[in-house]
Amino acid sequence: MRHQKVLVIDFGGQYTQLIVRRVREAGVYSEMVPWTAAAKALEDRPDAVVLSGGPKSVLEPGSPDLDFGLLEGVPTLGICYGMQLMAHRLGGKVEPARDREYGHQMIRTTSDSALLSGLSSDDVWMSHGIQVLEPPAGTLVSAQTDSCPVAAFEDVSKKLFGVQFHPEVSHTAAGTEVIGRFLFDHAGLKGDWTSASFVQEEIEAIRSQVGSDKVLCAVSGGVDSSVMAALLTKAIGERAVCVFVDHGLLRKGEAEQVVETFSRTFHPNLIVIRASDRFFRELAGVTDPEEKRKRIGAEFVRCFEERADELRDCAWLAQGTLYPDVIESGSPTAAKIKTHHNVGGLPDWMKLKVIEPLRWLFKDEVRAVGRELGLPDDVVDREPFPGPGLAVRVLGEVTPDRVRTVQEADWIFREELRREGLNKNVWQSYAALLDVRSVGVMGDERTYEQPIVLRAVESEDAMTARATPLPFEFLERVARRIVNEVGGVNRVLYDLTSKPPATIEWE
């Protein structure tokens, strides 16, 4: 079955992935493509196109561009840079703004705007220093602000719409209304994409891709790899060989929990490889976070390929890679934030072919797929956990003793969160060990020990996050327990930084 598809053309905007999310949340399948590959992607004639924002000016030589002749007859929504490019290429006038707009703004919409009139709110989110002074001939100026003469324009007959604000971000109060009106009222889409349809279509794709081969499924017990393994098992049965590598970098009691969970849910024949000694050897003396991730990724591959060699007809390695992993590891139009061990951390010498059935999904979509596959809530709703494990929560050298320190502090923090019911709105919570020492006093004696940082964040998809506002008395109690119960720690901090500018993990 061919689903209706919205193609999101990425001009390097920081919110582009949110456009894809919002379209999918409306029940319409969406894919993102960098502007450099847009011409090829448009050959398939998508049902609608969204042009993203971007950091460049359309007036700069060599700035991202597009042949608008390829969009003839295709309903198109331009956002920020996308709107400016549309105006610039279709005969309008674009210039540097006298007054740049960043943050909340109020738009004034015209009563005859097909896209914007009658919205529930006129509060929008702007982020631009270039503006459209005159829209293309034949278009209607549908919104303005005090400093932006063309905050939106439209040509309903040609199904072309441009908005200077960002409807994809939550700060634009009526953003989902704008996107919904474009998709359903003007592009005429039906909304025929669901988690159930994804499951059935991906099962067929897996069977076609792997043929009669066996697939080694790399599982960690987390929601991503669990859903991936369940999907592979449903597609090819016992030819999906689930392997769990205990690398010694898991949370307290987690290795035992993973084995129990898999045995209880859907895959009683889980292969367990105890490999903590070899991972610690690889990490000895390593302090650079990128090097940690690459060494961990390479050691995982060695473990998997050794096991694959023991299995007949096993040519594939299945991973629970998600779209945020791909973005942060560096897409063609996004800067590399950090190499995820399962993306950019894979060695070029590996023999196994990689299959990643969840690669273009966001976390909430993966959870929906997990429920569709019948996985229990305690698996589907599990907090995200990084593939490199506690190696990215132990700043500096990773040793067994330093990992144990983090395990104990992390256990106390998360135990207290559960006890107080404060974990319900938390996306991710953990303790990290810093690679510094500070002076303290215990029992009338001087100490010179390490600090623990606590972090708890709220998020929708890990692309952005804010610190969870935990009660001070709660944090004080957790700090007291950690200092009293965990050796080598004399100070506890709470990380209040949002993402951006920070990341969720410390490394």
Mean pLDDT by 10 residues, the chain (507 residues): 88 88 92 93 95 92 94 96 95 85 85 92 86 92 90 95 93 93 96 87 93 92 90 93 94 89 72 95 96 93 90 89 70 46 62 91 90 89 89 97 98 97 93 95 88 94 86 98 96 94 91
**pLDDT at 342 (0 to 100):** 46
Is 460 designated active site? Answer: no
Is 303 designated active site? Answer: no
Same domain membership, residue 222 and residue 163: no
Among the candidates 155, 186, 217, a domain finishes at 186
CA distance 432 to 394: 6
Is there a contact between 207 and 236 (Cβ–Cβ < 8 Å)? yes
Maximum CA extent, the chain: 81
Same domain membership, residue 272 and residue 304: yes
Using alpha carbons only, what angle is made at residue 258 by residues 455 and 396, rounded to the nearest 5 degrees? 40
Same domain membership, residue 165 and residue 60: yes
Residue 388 lies in a domain: no
Is 166 designated active site? Answer: yes
3-state DSSP call for residue 473?
Answer: helix
**pLDDT at 341 (0 to 100):** 44
CA distance 357 to 330: 19
Residue 125 lies in a domain: yes
List Cα–Cα distances, 262 to 247, 272, 356, in angstroms: 17, 11, 20
From 3, 88, 128, 166, the catalytic residue: 166
Q: What is the CATH number of the domain that holds 307?
A: 3.40.50.620
Q: What is the CATH number of the domain that holds 439?
A: 3.30.300.10
Is there a contact between 123 and 161 (Cβ–Cβ < 8 Å)? no
CA distance 26 to 47: 15
Residue 348 lies in a domain: yes
List Cα–Cα distances, 414 to 305, 475, 504, in angstroms: 35, 12, 16
Indicate the DSSP class of residue 299: H
Element (H, E) at 489: strand 489-494
Among the candidates 168, 186, 204, a domain finishes at 186
Residue 50 lies in a domain: yes
CA nearest to 303, candidates 220, 223, 380: 220
Is there a contact between 393 and 406 (Cβ–Cβ < 8 Å)? yes
Same domain membership, residue 316 and residue 180: no
From 101, 168, 202, 282, the catalytic residue: 168
Same domain membership, residue 444 and residue 420: yes
Residue 77 lies in a domain: yes
HSE at residue 277, side-chain half, CA atoms within 13 A, is 2
Same domain membership, residue 269 and residue 181: no
Two tokens, residue 114:
């097909």
**pLDDT at 364 (0 to 100):** 86
In 311-362, which residue ranges form alpha helices assigned H by DSSP? 323-328
CA distance 193 to 47: 13
Pairing outcome for strands 123-134 and 438-442: unpaired
**pLDDT at 438 (0 to 100):** 92
Q: What Rg, from alpha-carbon coordinates, does the chain have?
A: 25
Among the candidates 380, 413, 432, a domain finishes at 380
CA distance 221 to 298: 20
Q: Look up the domain containing 438 and give its range.
A: 394-494
Same domain membership, residue 200 and residue 181: no
CA nearest to 331, candidates 5, 35, 18, 57: 35
Please tell me the total count of domains within the chain: 3
Residue 443 lies in a domain: yes
Q: How many C-beta atoms surround the C-beta of residue 489 within 10 A?
A: 23
User: For residue range 388-423, what is the model confidence (pLDDT) as tens digits?
Assistant: 999 999 999 999 999 999 999 999 999 999 999 999
Two tokens, residue 470:
């935990």
Residue 386 lies in a domain: no
Is there a contact between 266 and 230 (Cβ–Cβ < 8 Å)? yes
Which class for 312: exposed (0-12), middle (13-18), buried (19 or more C-beta within 10 A)? exposed
Q: What is the CATH number of the domain that holds 100?
A: 3.40.50.880
Same domain membership, residue 200 and residue 182: no
Same domain membership, residue 105 and residue 31: yes
pTM of the predicted structure, to 2 decimals: 0.74
Same domain membership, residue 311 and residue 255: yes
CA distance 81 to 60: 12
Two tokens, residue 346:
């894979």
**pLDDT at 329 (0 to 100):** 54
CA distance 199 to 357: 10
CA nearest to 150, candidates 180, 122, 109, 104: 109
**pLDDT at 346 (0 to 100):** 67
Same domain membership, residue 213 and residue 77: no
CA distance 183 to 81: 20
Residue 221 lies in a domain: yes
Is there a contact between 35 and 333 (Cβ–Cβ < 8 Å)? yes
Buried b (16+ CB within 10 A) or exposed e, 219-244: bbbbbbbbbbbbbbbbbbeebbbbbb
**pLDDT at 279 (0 to 100):** 97
Two tokens, residue 145:
């602000």
Same domain membership, residue 248 and residue 163: no
Is there a contact between 339 and 291 (Cβ–Cβ < 8 Å)? no
